[in-house]
Amino acid sequence: MPLVQQIQNELPEAMRGGDARRRDILRLLIAAFGNERIALGHELSDDEAIATLQKQAKQRRESIEQFAAGNRQDLVDHEQEELDLILSYLPVDLSDDELQALVSAAVAQSGASGAKDFGKVMGPLMKQVAGRADGARVQTMVRAALGA
């Protein structure tokens, strides 16, 4: 079942179960999917839905940082609850060892020899790890591998 459909099917279950918090979070996700669908002009594929969820997760992480800096634990807890539910729909992240192996393979495959070849490595690698690793994390490992 497509990811968008799965989340839409869980909304009535949350409503029937009286789980108002889960219901509200699912509604936020469905709205985000709708906005992305309109922006793209077609129904979302699973990869596009995962990318949308990753954007939502990133927003929550940034909000948590800001609220923690402002000593607003109530808002941190609120955002963390949303983030936890969003993460439950995302594929499991690659471990550091798995990601490092993919980075090494991508560097070898592209024939990259230094920082100037960063783009030659990142493009194919990001397609390979889409949905399973944060771009900043991948970028850091690629820069380290290229000695940049």
Digit-coded pLDDT (tens) for 46-102: 888 988 998 999 899 999 999 999 999 999 999 999 999 998 888 887 788 888 888
Q: Which domains does the chain have, with CATH numbers?
A: 3-89 (1.10.1510.10), 96-145 (1.10.10.410)
pLDDT(130) > 80: no
- Which residue bears the tokens 């699912």? 26
The single-letter DSSP state of residue 114 is S
Identify the burial level of 128 via C-beta atoms within 10 angstroms of its C-beta, where 0-12 means exposed, 13-18 middle and 19 or more buried.
Answer: middle
Tell me, what amino acid is at 93? D
Contacts 24+ apart (CB under 8 A), 5-8: 6/89, 7/33, 7/89
CA triplet 110, 114, 120: central angle to 5 degrees? 35
pLDDT(148) > 70: no
The pLDDT tens digits for 12-31 are 999 999 999 999 999 999 99
Higher pLDDT, residue 145 or 71: 71
Higher pLDDT, residue 130 or 69: 69
Handedness of CA 13, 15, 20, 21 (dihedral sign): positive
Question: Taking phi first (over 0 means left), then psi (-120 to 50 degrees means alpha), and beta for anything else, what does residue 71 get?
Answer: left
H-assigned helices in 41-131: 46-69, 73-89, 96-110, 118-129
Cα separation of 46 and 106, whole Å?
A: 25
